[in-house]
Amino acid sequence: MTEGGAMARIEREWQAEHEGSALASELHRIMVISHRQAKGFIDCHCVTVNGEISEKHGHRLKAGDTVKVAFDPEQTYEVMPPARKLQAGPFETLWEDTHLLFVFKPAGLLTVPTEQAGEASLAEAITESYRRRGFKRFNLYIVHRLDRFTSGVLVFAKTPEALHGLKKHFELHRLQRVYFAILVGELPENSGTLAGHLIEHAKSLKMSVATPRKGPGGGKRMPAGAKEAVTHYRVIERLPGHTVVEVKLETGRRNQIRVQFADRGFPLLGDQVYGVESPLLDRQALHAELLGFKHPVTEEQVTVTAPMPADMEAALKALRNQARIVRAATGVKGEEGIFQPTESRDHKLKRVARAKRFDTRDEASAMSTRPRRDEGPDRPRRTFSAGDRPPRSASGPGDRPARPRREEGDARPRRTFDSAERPARPRREDGDARPRRTFDSAERPARPRREEGEARPRSASGPSDRPARPRREEGEARPRRAGGPGERPAPSRRNEGDERPRRTFGTTDHPAGPRREGATDRPARKSVPRTGKPKPRKP
């Protein structure tokens, strides 16, 4: 250390020997320091080449160039972060609630930060904005992304519940995504669908359409890592050498729209990766115009749109002016030659069915608008004057006369019959017995009514009929029928505890065998080994 407390600086100077070596590599080799420390010396203006300060790590040296390094060994020289290539302006909020945040992403801005430091991103800008507004613990959850040079509407989740629901929507494709694109070339059809599989290349990280390969079994299979991609499109406007389309995504793969249209031969305008550069636009002409789905928490339908950016509007204006010049040069006037999309038959049938459904809804709403009577008061009746109501027509003998209106509480009048008709039946009072029908002498006599508990009388039986059986009292034994000489005699009733008598047989019958006293007296059955197939069981 020198006088006055200042630390001595170390200086190293030498001449480069190798042609074309990088400055940071030269410091690493000569001074035996790390690459990070060598870059720190260069960033802090401690290195000069031929007397001039060098600020580039990759500056190529020539043989004989003089390199000088002056630094303080007690200090730490860190690598300075690179200047941001894109200054992110204030983001625009399209729609927001407690769980979701819809923002407009400008072209050229990353959705999330990358591993390289210093790159601005939309997620960092949103988080910093909320922190400045006083949110100490603000969490922003990434749901999906847009390409760096694609503009449009983007959604973020603010709560774990919304994140879980949105991930489910994206996995099951239960959302509506509409894009606006300008293609180079003229599509021959007005609408269609691009279906295939996309795969990512490990070295270039570019996406391409996968082709099936021959498998080990002889069939064709998709390569490992290929994912299905489905894109629906329809033509909106045709311009000279270009086609404006509206795209609806069924699946959301990385660079899906750009890769599928480029594979078919119609790359996006200004796409420098899958197409060619264009003087009209310095990025791909792709804009996320609409995003809609059912709210993951409140289950309400949410649809958010983003306006067309200025650079794409300028490109469309230039193409339309070119179309006017071409029409004027060829002498075309009026609407001749202007593209008008035709409606397909399926789309027309769906539109008509939707219109009918809304018509029925309108009729139902009109019927529901009829005023409803409150309960209580009687329905008002229409009154007629003497001259308003037409006289009733003369009714024939078979017509029914008009019935007078009864007042509330009045008894219902009974219908009267003529002498030739059936006489009116007298009305029974509550509790009176129902009158029995009387019969003439030629008819069946009336049957006497049995009192409660009295036995039912039996009809007089003839000599061939079975005699009436006397009624047994409760607890009395049931009498046995007296049998003839050939019938079996009735067995006598055993008392409780008496042994059951055994049946005896005559000389002509089978003689009774000896009775076994126990189960052990039965001779053991000799087991026979089973051979052949088992005998099937009966169902």
Catalytic residue numbers, as ranges: 147
Beta bridge pairs of residue 47: 69
SS3 assignment, position 28: helix
Residue that has been written with the tokens 């202007």 in this structure: 338
8 Å CB contact between 304 and 177: no
Counting Cβ atoms within 10 Å, is residue 507 exposed (0-12), middle (13-18) or buried (19+)? exposed
> Residue 361, Cα to own-chain centre: how many angstroms?
26
Tokens representing 232?
């629906």
Q: Can you tell me whether residue 151 is helix, strand or coil?
A: strand
Question: 287: closest CA among 89, 106, 145, 93?
Answer: 106
The answer for residues whose C-beta is within 8 angstroms of residue 106's C-beta and 6 or more apart is 89, 151, 309
Q: Virtual CA dihedral for 220, 222, 228, 229, nearest 10 degrees?
A: -90
Indicate left, alpha or beta for 330 from its phi (over 0: left) and psi (-120 to 50: alpha).
alpha
β pairing state of 151-157 and 286-294? parallel
DSSP 405: P
Phi, psi of 234 (to 5 degrees): -150, 145
171, 177, 182, 183: CA torsion to nearest 10: 40
Q: What are the helix and strand counts (H, E) for the chain?
A: 7, 17
Euclidean distance between CA atoms 444 and 425, whole angstroms: 23
Is the CB of residue 152 less than 8 Å from the CB of residue 284? no
Residue 96: partners with Cβ closer than 8 Å, 6 or more residues away? 102
Radius of gyration from C-alpha coordinates of the chain: 52
Strands (E), 122-217: 141-142, 151-157, 176-184, 191-200, 207-209, 213-214
User: For residue 207, which of 189, 226, 220, 193 has the smallest C-alpha distance?
Assistant: 226
Return d(Cα 286, Cα 257) in angstroms, integer: 9
Rounded Cα–Cα distance for residues 230 and 366 (Å): 43
